[in-house]
Structure 1
Amino acid sequence: MTDTAQQQQAPATRRTSQLVGTALGHALEWYDWGIYAIFVPFFATQFFSQGDQFSAVLSSLAVFAVGFIARPVGGFLFGWLADRIGRRVTMSATVATIAAASFVIGIAPTYASVGAWASLILLLARVVQGLACGGELPSAQTYLSEIAPAARRGKWSSLIYIASVFGNTVGVLLGLVLTLTLTSGQMHSFGWRIPFLLGGVFGLVAVYMRRKMAETEAFTQAGAERPRLWPQLVAHRKEAVRVIGLSVGFTVVYYSWVVAAPAYAISTLHVSSTGALWAGVASAVLLIAVMPFWGALSDRIGRKPVLLISTVGGAVTLYPVQLLAQDSAWRLFAGMALAAVFISAGVSILPAVYAEMFPTRIRAVGLAVPYSVAVALFGGTAPYLQTWIGANLGRSSYTGYLVLLLLVSAVVIATMPETRGKDLR
């Protein structure tokens, strides 16, 4: 191979390493984060009293929500580190932390053996995962947006949520395999531990891949100058408020109809666990397939039109989605698939939109804090509210809540400037 050929191959190899490391680590984050909601029906009574199954499920979902409370703290900490010492090092730290917490859940003692200490261990592990997740998503979104060509940033940014959905889907598939292989008693006894233990092992691979990644050119060119953080955040407070307003609708709909829908269908709609998990896998494949097209479309017509298609279209179709998703796996899939078409339009380009809001010196932390606040308040409570409101006020009331938040995000989008093709350096 000639020197010229080697020089041409080096950037391509580096870019492949960057994309694989980002996607693999991010998929692991969502695998570890999502398997909690997926396996709640199986482990709830292992960490809480077995006297009331429904109460145990609600308690487990409450812990799910508490984990989100730690995300703004983690977003600030890891976001600050990403803007100070680099995106790559921070991304390695977040993926190692979330994998370690997953492993702890996998080996944790049960309520029957140590009482309330089991509940406390579960709670602490989820708080640690919340800290790591609060920093992982903003850091990974920032990293990918900074290495992407400006003219294709929308399409490239779809890799973040493709990895997210893929990681969650791997968890669903694993749940499907386990429920087909093990009896119900075995799933409640030890089967639920397997995905958490595997998450710890997968973490080692992800850390290795991310340690080989190169730092982004935008961060490197910013140099050693790091302005005081608080004045910069105050100066960009309008952008921070926009992040919250933009995120609330997408977050709650994503968690309701992508992450938690199979578990909700099993525990509340009484869809068979196998059927619900298959519906989740099939709709996730559709979600992954259409995201690059929405990303590419935003590179051609702009971010705002695609975001408005997602929010307004989602608001219009959520009640038909509710009517479709009833007590059969096929109807559940039909509802999730319809929701996926509109959800994918927005989430596919959110990483690009967020990155285009802030300058390099505070891009990670400027996004991390307001985004984590929005996710903690609305995403973390979504599975719990979906279950509680559905049981006490009816499913239509919860759907109305989703529609309202999507319309809030639509109003925010309408007031935003168009940022397609913006130079991030």
Structure 2
Amino acid sequence: MGNALEWYDWGIYAIFVPYIATRFFDNSDQLSALLSALAVFAVGFLARPFGGWLFGLISDRWGRRNAMTLSVAGAAGGTVLIGLSPAYDAIGAGASVVLLLARLVQGVAHGGELPSAQTYISEVAPDRHRGLWSSLIYFSGTIGLITGTALGAVLTTALTDQQMSAWGWRIPFLLGGVVGLYALVMRRRMEESAAFRRLTAQTSTADREPMGRAILRSRRQALQVIGMTIGLTVAFYAWGTAATQFAISSRGVPPSGALWAGVAAQVVFIAALPLWGALSDRIGRKPVALISIVGLAVAGFPLNALLDNSPWRLFVAMSLAMVLMAASASIMPAMFAELFPTRIRTVGVAVPYSSAVALFGGTAPYLQAWLETFSGPWFTGYVSLLLVVSAVTLVSMPETRGTPLR
């Protein structure tokens, strides 16, 4: 539930960003308001490295459960703040400040959410089936995305554009707060992972190697996390989050049709995740990841060319891209967890991962909007270039299938 909430939060912001732009910024210049809203989206990403360090430290020092409980509380609080904030017409620039603060809180919380959650699921999974179990991370996250996208489709179908602009856009954020409260209660009842319990039983916090020194010794693994993340996070943003809004604004697809096409493609993604995860437990992590990265780099241009004003074409393009994306998404939690020892597993992943997501994922929507002002598929080329970096990184990584966690 907590992992789904994180993806839901980021998804609904991307989906409802046209309404957010008009409510939180001066709408006399619509392009400027939209770019401002996208810039705040990027600021939320920039807070992730600090959140990754903070919650990674909490997770590796005081337990996965404590980190995951605090992260979901912060995520829910930021979501409710956006949903309840007065608009620009009421309090002027104060609305923009509230939005910025809410996104910073969410960014810090979300910076620790995914690393803590994937560390937990990797540590409780059997060694022989860790690839399959790790697919639950993106499975649950995509449930959050589907919920947000489906809610957007329902609201844009049931409400007029005036109603959506006035109050309809607030509904998803307020519902997110309710989900966050439920997830908070659930996480307080979780059991700590056996791997962390063994670590605390063997050494006290004071007797462990200083975390900074341990991370420095794992700097090669940290660079590998960055290299793998930069291509895949932008590719996932392009096809898993922004494709529907891009199709609406740049290809003339009707909003309701585009959103329902997005929901259907995400269902395909969910169905593919456990299949790829189980395959990686049989043939290895690297072959499955290579299929994903190379496939996305090669297919990007023809899939982009497939898009026109048809929701069906959008569904086909998104589905093909998301099947390829599922191959790497299903196993990244396992691959990253298998690179680091238990004492720095969360922070070792969190800091490089969050930094890469902040720098490349956070700037992706702004770059996409800016590059669309030029003729040609420049953003698709940018995505393919970053995927080449991820492919080169993958070659340098060890095969970790079935490896017991250290």
Which shifted more, 167-176 or 269-278?
Answer: 269-278
* Structure 2 counterparts to residues 285-300 of structure 1, below 5 A: 285-300=267-282
Pick from 95, 100, 103 the counterpart of residue 80 of structure 2: 103
Deviation by residue 1:146-183 (Cα, 9 ceiling, x = unmatched): 00000000000000001111101100011111111110
Pick from 371, 375, 381 the counterpart of residue 400 of structure 1: 381
* Structure 2 counterparts to residues 173-184 of structure 1, below 5 A: 173-184=150-161
Shift of 1:236: 0.5
Report the secondary structure of 2:198's partner residue.
helix
CA distance in 1, matches of 2:146, 2:366: 21
Pick from 215, 219, 232 the counterpart of residue 250 of structure 1: 232
Which stretches in structure 2 are left out of the alignment for 5+ residues?
A: none
Report the secondary structure of 2:262's partner residue.
helix
Count of paired positions = 401
CA distance in 2, matches of 1:381, 1:258: 16
Shift of 1:383: 1.3
In structure 1, the partner of 2:392 is: 411
Whether the 8 Å CA contact 2:226–2:356 is kept in 1: the answer is yes
Deviation by residue 1:55-81 (Cα, 9 ceiling, x = unmatched): 222211111011100000000000000
Deviation by residue 1:203-253 (Cα, 9 ceiling, x = unmatched): 111011111110000000001243211101110000000000011111000
Which shifted more, 248-257 or 42-51?
Answer: 42-51
Which shifted more, 226-235 or 63-72?
Answer: 226-235
CA distance in 2, matches of 1:383, 1:327: 21
Pick from 336, 342, 349 the counterpart of residue 367 of structure 1: 349
Whether the 8 Å CA contact 2:252–2:308 is kept in 1: the answer is no
Shift of 1:393: 4.5
CA distance in 1, matches of 2:250, 2:35: 11
* Structure 2 counterparts to residues 23-422 of structure 1, below 5 A: 24-223=1-200, 224-225=204-205, 226-394=208-376, 396-422=377-403
In structure 2, the partner of 1:14 is: none
In structure 2, the partner of 1:12 is: none
1:277 aligned partner, one-letter code: L
Report the secondary structure of 1:268's partner residue.
helix
CA distance in 2, matches of 1:58, 1:270: 20
Deviation by residue 1:276-327 (Cα, 9 ceiling, x = unmatched): 1011101000000001000000000000000100000111100111011222
2:370 aligned partner, one-letter code: W
CA distance in 1, matches of 2:220, 2:99: 37
CA distance in 1, matches of 2:22, 2:98: 14
Whether the 8 Å CA contact 1:309–1:342 is kept in 2: the answer is yes
TM-score, length-scaled by structure 2? 0.97
Shift of 1:113: 1.0
Shift of 1:42: 2.0
Whether the 8 Å CA contact 2:221–2:339 is kept in 1: the answer is yes
Shift of 1:328: 2.0
Whether the 8 Å CA contact 1:33–1:129 is kept in 2: the answer is no
CA distance in 1, matches of 2:248, 2:105: 28
- Structure 1 vs Structure 2 CA RMSD: 1.0
CA distance in 1, matches of 2:308, 2:319: 13
Whether the 8 Å CA contact 1:266–1:276 is kept in 2: the answer is yes
TM-score, length-scaled by structure 1? 0.93
CA distance in 1, matches of 2:9, 2:323: 25
Identity rate of aligned residues, in percent? 59
1:53 aligned partner, one-letter code: Q
Which shifted more, 299-308 or 41-50?
Answer: 41-50
Whether the 8 Å CA contact 1:325–1:334 is kept in 2: the answer is no
Shift of 1:41: 1.7
Which shifted more, 315-324 or 54-63?
Answer: 54-63
1:405 aligned partner, one-letter code: L
Shift of 1:386: 1.3
